[in-house]
Structure 1
Amino acid sequence: MDSSIDPFAGYLLPLEDAVRELANTWHPDDPAYRAEVYRQALMNLSHGYFVHFNADAEHPDWSPLYNPVFLCQPNPDDIYLFSPIRDDLTYRVSGERGTVSKLIFVTQRGIPGTLETVGEYDAVSSIDDTDFRVGTDGRLEIVFSAVRPEGYEGNWSQLKPGADCIFVRYRMIDWGCEIDPQLSIECLDEVPPKPRLSAEEIVERLKLQMRIPRNQNRLFYKMQNDILEAAGKNRIHPVRLPGLDKQLYWPAVFSFENDEALIIETEMPAIARYWNIQLNDPLFNSVEYVYRHSSINGSTAIIDGDGMLRVVIALTDPGVPNWLDPAGFTEGTLYGRWYDCSSLPIPSITRVKLADLRAYLPSDTPTVAPSEREDALRRRVRAAQRRRRW
């Protein structure tokens, strides 16, 4: 046996670095937090297999990114896929657009999970379906390369120097009615067949895979703590991320007691092509969103008669429209998004006693019966399960 190949248990040691990131959570001595970090480490470790073993830049293929399994703050309305690329090669993405509300491509340096901070992501370029043409039959083709191929007049997006990752968002507003795209990605340059990995290559990739849980924890715990430091609790802190020029995020750290509720209140843009609000747990994982009403968007929300949006966070169903269910968490983060909207209002958050909630809502706020909520949840589950998720 090759003595350079360590027993497998030796490769797992870097997972302890992920657990040490407990020190950067809000309650590092809480056994529940520790258990959640263990679970999160294994979740991110499984994501790491796709990062380092599924595809390479010469032989690209879509891998699952954020979804109901890989829960590091995915937008519940989005399905994310990614592939490694190289900035000196040419790629073609082609297939059926489907009927999703938005189709968004981002190229950048830094496959999610390989870097430790948001600031490291650069070489970013993004396009969505307002930037490229789709045939009347729903088919599309986009070429990604450093320079536009000579004589090519079709859809093209530039790969900036250093770009090594492309990822795509399938964004649905009405999960039950929209159809996912069917897309392929291929390298157009002459490349050798995909090789069998050597023992040394496997070992090196295993070592890199084991770092991903630590990297993800450092990245997302810091993002969450930055919000808390900048705004405190129950206050919105708007931010923009590289590559998403049309999207304004408005996160907040939420906190309330078991007998309380939070009311999120905002004006609505005159033109709101897309918006949503979601809840994350204290480790920045999206709260269960297939079997819980933990997110809301323009398809599922009710706008009040005065034109305002009011959303309620509470542990138990308060019987009002626009309830966000935190699935047992009384602290975490909420993330709102305005995408390609005519204005960018900043919502407010009001903390109230749950028993007094209706005193803070319009007098004509309807009552949602338990049977109506159950029916809505069943529709949500069916719609979520019929989407491509991995």
Structure 2
Amino acid sequence: PRTPGPGVLHEPFGDTPEANLLGHQLQVGDDGEFELYIGGPERGPNWLPTTTGSRKLFIRQGFDRWEELPAQLRIERIDMDSPKPLPSPPEMVEAMRWAGEFVTGLMADWPEFPFTYGGVDANHPNAFPQVDATDADARRGRAAANMYWELADDEALIVEFGAHGGLWMLTNMGVFFNSMDYLYRPVSYTPSRTKTDADGRVRLVMAHRDPGVHNWLDTQGFACGNLTYRHMLEGEPAALSTQVVKHGELLAALPEDTAMVSPAERTAAMWERFHGIRRRYVL
């Protein structure tokens, strides 16, 4: 159910999870398929109960390696005995009203939400708020934190944290929390695509131009934006630290064993990303 009020985003966001199932809790067949029952009487392990306030099924999938593909999902009403009815004119009007309010809500809510409710200080950019795994996050199956960043043309930002369990991801985003150009540019990282230094620390480098380090986060030429960290599955979220340095002094601020790439290797990584995304989303 959703209770509108301060700190609650526009539709369809803001629901409080009533029940959830994680991947390790599902009973999966030898062919990798499973059936999930929603509501009705309890049907064994692959069952999600509902209440009179239930209104949404939210499915979260996380991807690490480029060859991973999304699950193919099908929805069936098990007691169906006639065709699905066509929407009535009032239902179509309501659907169009909802779509319009989604667009206006997106414009009104997202740019200021992290500053008003997310613990982000606009006067002190380039630092993450503390990431705590709350009970609400556990029910949603993830923990998240957002950093607002600002970088001058000659600056770079180092994001550092300890290598940790679970599936984590960092994504460079725009003002409306839309991902930057993930088809062509290295604007996101997950464990399998990241190099860890010999001291067990992960260091990502956000910069306007390619510094030659493997873990480069492209700003896409923007002077400011949002960097979002998410953590899923096992383990706890990491403590994230940041450091702003001059671009020309970047390598001196990194460990000597920092993984570097050549222009040819960067191009190869771009192609790997390009093909991986197109396989995953059929663009």
When the two structures are superposed, what TM-score results if normalisation uses the length of structure 2? 0.86
Distance 1:217 1:300, change over 3 A: same
Letter of the aligned partner of 2:126 in structure 1?
N
Letter of the aligned partner of 1:167 in structure 2?
F
CA contact 1:280–1:287 (8 Å) conserved in 2? yes
Equivalent in 167, 175, 187 of residue 58 of structure 2: 167
Distance 1:208 1:336, change over 3 A: closer
Q: Alpha-carbon deviations, 1:149-200, whole Å to 9, x = none?
A: xxx335111224412111323322112x223322211122457532233434
Q: How far, CA to CA, are the matches of 1:281 and 1:162 in structure 2?
A: 34
The residue aligned with 1:156 is 47
Which secondary structure does the structure 1 equivalent of 2:35 belong to?
A: strand
Gaps of 5+ in 1: 1-107
The residue aligned with 1:254 is 149
Which secondary structure does the structure 2 equivalent of 1:385 belong to?
A: helix
The residue aligned with 1:344 is 237
CA contact 2:125–2:148 (8 Å) conserved in 1? yes
The residue aligned with 1:132 is 26
The residue aligned with 1:235 is 127
Q: Alpha-carbon deviations, 1:329-374, whole Å to 9, x = none?
A: 1211111122234343311111110000011100122331111101
CA contact 1:279–1:294 (8 Å) conserved in 2? yes
CA contact 1:123–1:161 (8 Å) conserved in 2? no
The residue aligned with 2:76 is 186
Gaps of 5+ in 2: none
Distance 1:319 1:186, change over 3 A: same
What is the aligned residue count?
274
Distance 1:160 1:333, change over 3 A: farther
The residue aligned with 1:10 is none
Whether 1:143 aligns to 2:37 is yes
Which secondary structure does the structure 1 equivalent of 2:36 belong to?
A: strand
- Aligned-residue sequence identity (percent) comes to 29
The residue aligned with 2:181 is 288
Letter of the aligned partner of 2:211 in structure 1?
P
Q: How far, CA to CA, are the matches of 1:183 and 1:364 in structure 2?
A: 44
Q: How far, CA to CA, are the matches of 1:186 and 1:119 in structure 2?
A: 24
Deviation at 1:118, TM superposition (A): 8.8
Which secondary structure does the structure 2 equivalent of 1:205 belong to?
A: helix
Q: CA RMSD in A?
A: 2.6
Distance 1:210 1:372, change over 3 A: same
CA contact 2:17–2:140 (8 Å) conserved in 1? no
Distance 1:242 1:191, change over 3 A: farther
CA contact 2:169–2:190 (8 Å) conserved in 1? yes
Distance 1:268 1:366, change over 3 A: closer
Deviation at 1:208, TM superposition (A): 2.5
Distance 1:251 1:191, change over 3 A: farther
Query: Which shifted more, 378-387 or 276-285?
Result: 276-285
Whether 1:324 aligns to 2:214 is no
Larger fraction in strand: 1
Query: Which shifted more, 347-356 or 362-371?
Result: 362-371
Equivalent in 225, 248, 256 of residue 355 of structure 1: 248
Q: How far, CA to CA, are the matches of 2:9 and 2:186 in structure 1?
A: 32
Q: How far, CA to CA, are the matches of 2:187 and 2:84 in structure 1?
A: 42
CA contact 1:109–1:123 (8 Å) conserved in 2? no
Distance 1:135 1:198, change over 3 A: closer
Deviation at 1:220, TM superposition (A): 1.9
Q: Alpha-carbon deviations, 1:359-390, whole Å to 9, x = none?
A: 11001223311111011001110110011368
Distance 1:372 1:284, change over 3 A: same
Which secondary structure does the structure 2 equivalent of 1:215 belong to?
A: helix
Distance 1:332 1:115, change over 3 A: closer
CA contact 1:314–1:354 (8 Å) conserved in 2? yes
